[in-house]
A and B are shown apart, each in its own frame.
Chain A
């Protein structure tokens, strides 16, 4: 599923809204999550999962081809942990 398909599904369930509105809604949600992470905040959506930012310390890596040492700067990466309900739903035997 891609974003436009998600928009279409939500729009079909809400016939009083224009597709454009639904697009705005989906974008507002995703941008709010991205911006929260950019500010170093977490976003916890019970039943779905939690977005957070993980810090990776600077380290000396190696170029796997040449074996040469390279300094890797510290970084911050977005991280998602699947929530309990969704984890269970993914594995429910039907």
Chain B
């Protein structure tokens, strides 16, 4: 079955690997996530080698439609974040899934 990991699992991984206290480990997980957010909000792309790249893209205004009513509504220009996984991560995920489905 599919499991969903949360901050708690990441903190546990840091705790196991680095040997800081549990509360300090969870604080650091928070800091790392927040600094990635901050860079993105600042408009920077965040490149994490062997993991992937978080890129911020600007979208122009376009016409959308309310799918329920069919009514046309303008979609305002906005910034979105996209994640491009590294080739290493893509290969790891693909290889492991292939192994299991074989």
Q: How far is the CA of A82 from the CA of B92 in the complex (A)?
A: 22
Residues of B within 8 A of A (CB): 2-7, 9-10, 13-14, 16-18, 20, 25, 28-29, 31-33, 35-37, 39-41, 44-52, 54, 56, 78-83, 85, 89-90, 92-98, 100
* A interface residues, Cβ below 8 angstroms from B: 1-3, 6, 9-10, 13-14, 21-22, 24-26, 28-34, 36-49, 51, 53, 75-80, 82, 86-87, 89-92
What are 17 A-B contacts with C-beta separation under 8 Å?
A: A1-B47, A10-B35, A25-B17, A25-B32, A26-B32, A29-B14, A30-B51, A32-B10, A32-B13, A37-B89, A39-B3, A40-B97, A42-B4, A43-B6, A45-B7, A45-B33, A89-B41
